[in-house]
Structure formats: C-alpha cells, structure tokens
Amino acid sequence: MRVTNNMLISNMMRDLNSNLRRLEDVNKKMGSGKKFSMPSDDPVGVARSLKLRASLSEGAQFKKNAEDSLSWIETTEGALMQIKEVLQRVRELTVKGASGILVPEDSKKIAEEVRELRDHLVSVGNSTYMGKYIFAGYRTDTAPVGLDGDDGSLKYNGDDGGIMYRVGTEDILRANFTALEIFKPEDDKDLLKGMQFLMDALEKGALENDPPDPGDGDFEAVGNMLGDVDIYLENVLAKIAEVGAKCNRMELVVNRFDDEKLNFNTLLSKIEDADIAEAIVQLKSEENVYMAALAGGARIIQPTLVDFLR
C-alpha cells in the first residue's frame, strides 16, 4: 500500500485521540470514584443501583417507622405498668376490705383510697403521646376514658381503630390498645364500674351501722369482687406481655434494617464504586501507551525526503 505523510499524521491523530479518550475514561473513574455516571455507561449496573438505592431508602424509612412505633409502644407500656400497680393495690385493698374485721372508719378510708385509685386509672387511661391520646383508637384527639354518671361505668369516647406502623413491605404493626380492651376485658366486666361497686360496698358498711360495728360492711360483695380484680389484672398482665413482645420485635426490626443497610451499601459499592487500585493500574498503563504513541508519532511525522535533499 502506498503510504503518504498525511496518512501517517491522520492515523497518528486518530490513535492519540482514542488513547486520550481511554485515559479520560479512567481519569473520570478515578475522579468520581464511580464506575459509571450515565445509564449508557452500564445500563444493567445503573438499573441495579437504582433498585438498591430505592430499597435502601425504603429500609431507612421502615427503620424510622419501627423506631417511632417504639416510642409509642414504650409510652403504652409505661401506662400499662401503672395500671398494673393500681390493680395490685386494688387487689390488696379488696382482700383487706373483705376481711370483715374492719371498723367503718377503715372501710371508709379504703373506699377513699379506691376512689383515688379509680381517678388515677381514668387519668392513666387518658395518657397521651405527643399530645395524642394513646388508648382512644383512631380518636387520638379525644380523651377516651370518662365515667358514666349513674353507675360509674366506663364511658368510652374512642373507637376500635388501630394505630398502624408499616415496618416492612408486608409487615404492618398495630401499636395501640384501646381503653375498652384494657378496662373492659369482657362485655360484663367493667373495671371502673367494678371499682365504683367496691367503693359503694365499702361505704355502705361504714354508713349503715351507727355505732359502727366491725363486720357490718358488705363484706361478701367485696369478697366477690376479688375474682373480677384478678381477671382485670391478668388482662393487663397479658397486654403488658404483648407490648413487651412487640417492643422486642420492633427492636429486632431496627437491628435487621441496620444489617440490611450494611449489606445493601456493600452491594451498592460493589456495583457503583470503581476499584481504585485497578483504576490506577489502568491509568498508568494507558498513560504509558499514550506516551509511547506520542514519542513514536513525533519521530514518524517529522522527516521527509526534503530533510535530506541539498
């Protein structure tokens, strides 16, 4: 083939150009630390990275939800513990009140204490978290627990709605109990009404006998209450256990997403991040090729016959 000077020059320019382009690619990798910056650099890689990024951010959201639910659950747990303590005291008082050896003053005192405890229960039943009533179902803006004027029974102002947290793609947690579930475990068992009854029974013993005679209270009625108190207590204990279990589960969820984040980040880095060591080696080798091409080109394009003619 006939070779002309311009052929040499344009071939050299083209080769230098493609060398430079490769050099730039490697340089871009080094500078950004990423294997690709455009979908066309690596369509599959970009698609996978998009998917992973979405999973990562969703995971972070789920974790945040789980953490939020934990605060709610912990508030619930605190309230339930107080209710438990109240019920234990009520049980003690019931046992005491049923003993039949009380003087009316004592009965009255016990009745007083039961009233105090009842009021406390009502206020615990109206506990809030960040200004939202936690035992009201969906009606987080309404105090759920009130007393019926006639018989002191529970007047529930909430509904049976569940406060839900999505803590996984298919995992939705119900984080709340309603006051109904806690104060009225069965249809005819109403804690607040029961306490009113207890007070009435104790006070009756104190009022009807003058001078008071030990053993005149409605001891039998008080004694009968004991079984009910146990039912309430068991119910609350069961709820506390459930809350504890939920708490554990949410902690696990949080941990799981922490692990997942680590795994996903590792995977993302594998897909997106350039191997710097490899890139440097590549850069060096491209640089050498480029230098060699420059040196060779400089020799080739210079001499022509003109240089040797006198």
Partner 1 sequence: MSSFSGLNIVVKGLFAQQRALDVTGHNIANVNTDGYARQRVIIETAKPTEVLGGRGMLGSGALVQQIQGIRNGFLDVKFWGENTVLGEWDAKGQHLGDVEMVFNEPSDAGLNTVIDRFFSALQDLSNGEKASDLTVRETVRQAAIAFTNNLNNMAFQFEKVQTDADFAIETRISDINSYARQISELNGQIMKYELDGSNANDLRDKRDLLIDKLSNIVDVKTFEDAEGRFRLNVGGRLLVNHIDYNRLILAERGEEYNGVQIEKKNDVDADGLHEILWDNGCGFNPKGGELKGLLDIRDGNGDTGMYKGVPFYMEQLDHFAKEFAEAINNIHKEAYGLKGSYEEEGGEQILFFTDNLTEASYALDGDGKRIARGTDITAKNITISKEIFEDLNNIAVASSYDTVPGDASKGLEMVGLRHENVFPTYGTPEDFIKSIIAALGVDRQEAIRMRDNQSILVSQTDTLRMSVSGVSIDEEMSNMIRFQHSYNAAARLITAMDEMLEMMVNRMGLVGR
Q: CA-to-CA distance for 215 and 209, rounded, in angstroms?
A: 10
1 sits near partner 1 (criterion: CB under 8 A):
yes
Exactly one of 93, 272, 274, 283 binds partner 1 (CB under 8 A); that residue is: 272
Minimum separation from the CB atom of position 300 to partner 1 (A) = 13
SS3 147: strand
b/e code 186-196 from CB counts within 10 Å (16+ = b): eeeebbbbbbb
Q: CA-to-CA distance for 218 and 100, rounded, in angstroms?
A: 9
Exactly one of 43, 215, 227, 296 binds partner 1 (CB under 8 A); that residue is: 43
As given in the structure block, the two tokens for residue 21 are: 């382009």
Q: Token pair 């060779």 is at which residue?
A: 296
Amino acid occupying residue 272: E
Show the site string, 49-88: x = touches partner 1 by CB under 8 A, - = not: xxx-xx--xx--x--xx--xx--x----------------
As given in the structure block, the two tokens for residue 215 are: 């053993």
* Residue 96: partners with Cβ closer than 8 Å, 6 or more residues away: 102, 110
25 sits near partner 1 (criterion: CB under 8 A):
no
Minimum separation from the CB atom of position 140 to partner 1 (A) = 4
254 sits near partner 1 (criterion: CB under 8 A):
no
The secondary structure element, H or E, covering residue 275 is: none
Nearer to partner 1, 3 or 277 (CB): 3
Show the site string, 155-194: x = touches partner 1 by CB under 8 A, - = not: ----x-xxxxxx--x--x--xx------------------
Exactly one of 42, 74, 200, 242 binds partner 1 (CB under 8 A); that residue is: 42
Exactly one of 33, 39, 227, 244 binds partner 1 (CB under 8 A); that residue is: 39
Minimum separation from the CB atom of position 31 to partner 1 (A) = 16
Phi, psi angle pair for 308, to nearest 5°? -110, 0
Cβ distance 268 to 49 under 8 Å? yes
Minimum separation from the CB atom of position 239 to partner 1 (A) = 18
Q: CA-to-CA distance for 258 and 90, rounded, in angstroms?
A: 44
Q: Token pair 């803006």 is at which residue?
A: 141
Contact set with partner 1 (CB under 8 A) = 1-7, 10-11, 14, 36-44, 46-47, 49-51, 53-54, 57-58, 61, 64-65, 68-69, 72, 129-130, 132, 134, 136-141, 159, 161-166, 169, 172, 175-176, 272, 304-306, 309
